[in-house]
Amino acid sequence: MASQTRVKVAKIDAPKMHGLDRETLTRIYRTMYLSRRLDDREIQLKRQNKIYFQISSAGHEAVTTAMGLLLRPGVDWIYPYYRDRALCLMLGVTPVETLLQAVGAKDDPSSGGRQMPSHWGHPKWNIVSKSSCTGTQFVQAAGAAEATLYYDARPKALEQAKKAPLGKYVNHERDEIVYVSSGDGATSEGEFWESLNTACTKKLPLLYLIEDNGYAISVPVEVQTAGGSISRLTRSYPGLHVAECDGTDPLESYAICKEAVQYCRERRGPALVHAHVTRPYSHSLSDDEKLYKTAAEREAEAHRDPLSKFSLFLVREGVLDQKEIEELEAQVDSEVRDAADAALAAEEPSIESIRMNVYSPDVDPTSAAFEAQARFHGAPKTMVEMVAATLSDEMSRDERITIFGEDVADASRHDNLEQVKGKGGVFKATAGLQRKYGPDRVFNSPLAEASIVGRAIGMATRGLKPVAEIQFFDYIWPAMMQIRDELCVIRWRSNGAFKAPAVIRVAIGGYLTGGGVYHSQSGESIFTHCPGLRVVMPSTALDVAGLLRTAIRCDDPVMFLEHKHLYRQPYNRSEYPGPDYTVPFGKARMVKEGTQVSIITYGALVHRAEVAAAQLEREGVSVEIIDLRSLSPYDWEAIAATVRKTHRVIVAYEDMLSWGYGAEIAARIGEELSMSWTLR
Ligand SMILES: Cc1ncc(C[n+]2csc(CCOP(=O)(O)OP(=O)(O)O)c2C)c(N)n1
Ligand SMILES: [Mg+2]
């Protein structure tokens, strides 16, 4: 047998094989075949109603297997999409593990049975949990690649990240790269372009693989992409290495991907590989491509099938003979049978486990650990000055903190700071931080909200502590999907394997003279609807210090709402309460005690309630005021206590009257506290 092998090795045409030996060529075919058979088995299981959905990697196996030879398992960071089964197998995910997700098993490493099949994720191999949203991965991958460069320069941040919760999954190596993939259709998402822009601007070690199967469900590529070729469109991006390959040919793919990987590893910038692949099994089992593809089209595709082409090639070139191919396939078939049996026998998650990993199991920001004594000093600060002072103290304590957004830097042209004072935010909330902590920690982003949040998610997933800014609440909407479908659910959907404890600071609210309809919006209830996200809204400078510090030190994503009308008011100022002052989430503040009527409020209405209460007191009415200050979670006990005490309640808030935040509070009071009460 050994001598036979030697004969075969001697026959291999090395340049034609791009230097790959017989063993590697066999491994390539084996993985491609294994991936296809796992898809086939899932399809069978779906038809038997044993799984609920199937989306295959068929036709994509060659380029993703080739990529798997080049990426370093557990070193490079992987943002795959659903057709990357072969890549995941190459990186170390086992056949049983891929099927555990299909059956929704408790031990599915991607999600603990919470996501649909083929939503890859595996902390051991740095495969980051993927949602169903097409395109969200691009900006997160950019954030992850920014973390690569950040850790290169700041080893202390890496040490701190390793000590934080889930620190066992924080890793970094000098020549690591980040991989992100999608289909041709997903490149139409704005996030693709936002990501490319950042990757090229910052020369990120980010490798894009676009697996172009010619269709996005039923929409052909020429309708999807101007000119029909994403590589042609992206060639003018500065510093982007762009290459195109036949993604059904593993050897051509290997050669092309190798150059791209090398380009990124050598820190020359990002690279994009545009691979032409096929999609023989329709979009998913819920789709029938015969409805929109002609028989001729489908037949032409069948001729390009990577599996049949490569097995023929291996035999023709004398790498394997027909009998060896058959033996290998029989072995894989048996492995797939065993894997399916094991997956079908696997335990399901318990019903009670559904609530696990919505929030961090390690840090409870509502706990007594966040109660602290203020140690006041210095002149009184306004709310906006307190934001800057608190950020500054936290940055000196924790090198993982990065600050970015629109206009947050003092001056992007760092040398200008010798001559100019610096901007530091349109409200000056981040003034002086770049000057003090450097342009790699405090920097301006392009004007692109989805990527501000998406990049923050990528950085936070890798252990950093981004504090990103959305300049005005009115412009948060491009980031909505990143917030709703990614930021607040990555921990839950990965069953606790990944998290994104970023802080998103947002200037919110009205009462800004001349602000008009697009500088005055509120809408906090939209975000308190999002499980996994903490939402706080301080009304005083002291609470800014306490709650912002808690936001940074906690292990959940936090939306930190800063009412811009309150930024510079004299009535809510405070001396600085010291570098360790925190306020727990979910604890209301008693603004003023009274006996006859309660006002439950927060934000800009706290002061207005105080003014109204003073007027009422003059008329002989005793008013109690509660400032919720934390909206999710909120302090139901404080609400119940004051309502039970006064038996009359006004819920005063700036958000929409109908379907607004206060409507929920009023409804709960009506439902749970039976007594006479008045609602305004
Ligand atoms: C944001 C978003 N919009 C729509 C969908 C529904 N959807 C899922 S896959 C898909 C087509 C993706 O096509 P492409 O990127 O070419 O990948 P392919 O499936 O062809 O590999 C669509 C529209 C989604 N999951 N997410
Ligand atoms: Mg496609």
What interhelical angle do 383-397 and 541-553 show, nearest 10? 30
The pLDDT of residue 675 is: 57
Residue closest by Cα to atom 11 of ligand 1: 216
Cα-Cα-Cα-Cα torsion 61, 63, 66, 70, nearest 10 degrees, comes to: -130
Q: Sign of torsion, CA 244 250 252 256?
A: positive
pLDDT of residue 12: 77
| Nearest ligand 1 atom, CA 184 | 16
**Helix, strand, coil percentages for the chain (3-state, nearest 5):** 45, 15, 40
Q: Is residue 630 within 8 Å of 600, Cβ to Cβ? A: no
The CA 215 to ligand 2 mean position distance, Å, reads 4
pLDDT at position 4 is 46
The whole-angstrom separation of Cα 214 and Cα 248 is: 13
Centre of ligand 2 to C-alpha 559, Å, is 35
Residue given tokens 């209460």 in the structure block? 613
Question: Alpha-carbon Rg of the chain, whole angstroms?
Answer: 28
CA distance 296 to 236: 35
Using CA atoms, how far apart are residues 621 and 179, in angstroms rounded to an integer? 65
Cβ atoms of 233 and 212 within 8 Å: the answer is no
Counting ligands in written order, the one closest to the CA of 281 is 1
Q: Whose CA is nearest to atom 21 of ligand 1?
A: 183
Give the strands of the sheet with 558-563, arranged side by side. 442-444, 401-405, 465-470, 503-508, 558-563, 534-536, 630-632
What is the spatial distance between Cα 224 and Cα 184, in angstroms, rounded to a whole number? 8
Instruction: Decide: 209 in ligand 1 pocket, CB within 6 A.
Output: no
Domains of the chain: 2-343 (3.40.50.970), 368-576 (3.40.50.970), 589-672 (3.40.50.920)
Ligand 1 center from residue 133 Cα (angstroms): 8
Residues whose CB is under 5 A from ligand 2 (ion)?
Answer: 183-185, 213, 216
Closest ligand to 217 CA?
1
> Measured over all CA atoms, what is the biggest interatomic distance in the chain, rounded to whole angstroms?
105
Q: Residue 658 and residue 302: Cα distance in Å, rounded? A: 56
The CA-based angle 630-632-634, given to 5 degrees, is: 60
**pTM across the whole model:** 0.96
d(CA 255, CA 362): 45
Containing H/E element for 597? Answer: strand 597-601
Decide: 550 and 583 in contact? Cβ < 8 Å: yes
Give the single-character DSSP code of 487.
Answer: I
Do residues 543 and 370 make contact, with C-beta atoms less than 8 angstroms apart?
no
Question: How far is Cα 512 from Cα 200, in angstroms, rounded to an integer?
Answer: 38
User: Which are the catalytic amino acids?
Assistant: 519
Q: Would you tell me how many other CB atoms lie within 10 Å of the CB of residue 468?
A: 28
The CB of 186 under 6 Å from ligand 1? The reply is: yes
Mean pLDDT by 10-residue block, N- to C-terminus, for the chain (680 residues)?
Answer: 45 84 97 98 96 96 98 98 98 98 96 96 98 98 98 98 95 97 98 98 98 98 97 98 98 98 98 98 94 97 97 96 97 98 97 96 98 97 98 98 98 96 97 98 98 98 98 98 98 98 98 91 96 98 98 98 97 98 98 98 98 97 98 98 96 92 94 65
Q: Is the minimum distance from the CB of 230 to ligand 1 under 6 angstroms?
A: no
Give the C-alpha separation, 234 to 241, whole Å. Answer: 9
Tokens of 554: 């906690």
Crossing angle, helix 22-47 and helix 306-316, to 10 degrees?
A: 150
In sequence order, what are the beta bridge partners of 651?
600
Please work out whether the CB of residue 131 comes within 6 Å of at least one atom of ligand 1.
no
Rounded Cα distance, 493 and 111, in Å: 5
The label of the residue with tokens 């100019």 reads 420
H or E element in which residue 668 lies: helix 661-672
Work out the angle at residue 364's Cα, subtended by the Cα atoms of residues 359 and 366, and round it to the nearest 5 degrees.
Answer: 110
**Token couple for 262:** 């090398």
Closest CA to 95 of 309, 259, 258, 335: 335
Give CA–CA dist 494/169, Å, rounded.
13
Pick the ligand that lies closest to the CA of residue 186.
Answer: 1
239/256 Cα distance (integer angstroms): 17
Cβ-contact 581, 372 below 8 angstroms: yes
Annotate 488-517 with three-state secondary structure. Answer: CCHHHHCCCCCCCCCEEEEEECCCCCCCCC
Compute the distance between CA of residue 673 and CA of residue 641 in angstroms, rounded to an integer.
10
Cβ-contact 503, 560 below 8 angstroms: yes
Predicted pLDDT of residue 5: 47
For the chain, counts of helices (H) and of strands (E): 24, 20
Judge residue 282's burial from the number of C-beta atoms within 10 Å of its C-beta, 0-12 exposed, 13-18 middle, 19 or more buried.
Answer: buried
Q: Ligand 2 center to residue 229 CA distance, Å?
A: 12
Q: Cis link prior to 584 (omega < 30° from 0)?
A: no
Tell me if 215 sits within 8 A of 279, measured CB to CB: yes
Transcribe 26-79 into DSSP letters.
HHHHHHHHHHHHHHHHHHHHHHTTSSS-----TT-HHHHHHHHHHS-TTTSEEE
Task: Provide the 3-class DSSP secondary structure of residue 641.
Answer: helix
pLDDT of residue 32: 98
Q: How far apart are CA 66 and CA 242, in angstroms?
A: 17
In terms of Cβ atoms closer than 10 Å to its own Cβ (0-12, 13-18, 19+), residue 515 is middle
Q: CA dist 571 to 540, 549, 564, Å?
A: 8, 22, 14
Q: Is 134 in the pocket of ligand 1 (CB under 6 A)?
A: yes
What's 127's DSSP letter?
A: B
Residues comprising the chain, all counted? 680
For residue 210, report the distance from its CA to the centre of ligand 2, in Å.
9
Please name the residues in contact with 305: beta carbons below 8 A apart, sequence gap of 6 or more: 59, 248, 278, 280
d(CA 629, CA 443): 29
Say what the pLDDT of residue 190 is: 98
Q: Cα–Cα distances in Å, from 182 out to 138, 251, 279?
A: 9, 21, 14
Which pLDDT belongs to residue 13?
81
pLDDT on residue 11: 66
Strand ranges in 349-464 using DSSP code E only, listed in sequence order: 377-381, 401-405, 442-444
Specify the pLDDT at position 193: 98
Q: Tell me, using a 6 A CB cutoff, whether residue 213 lines ligand 1.
A: yes
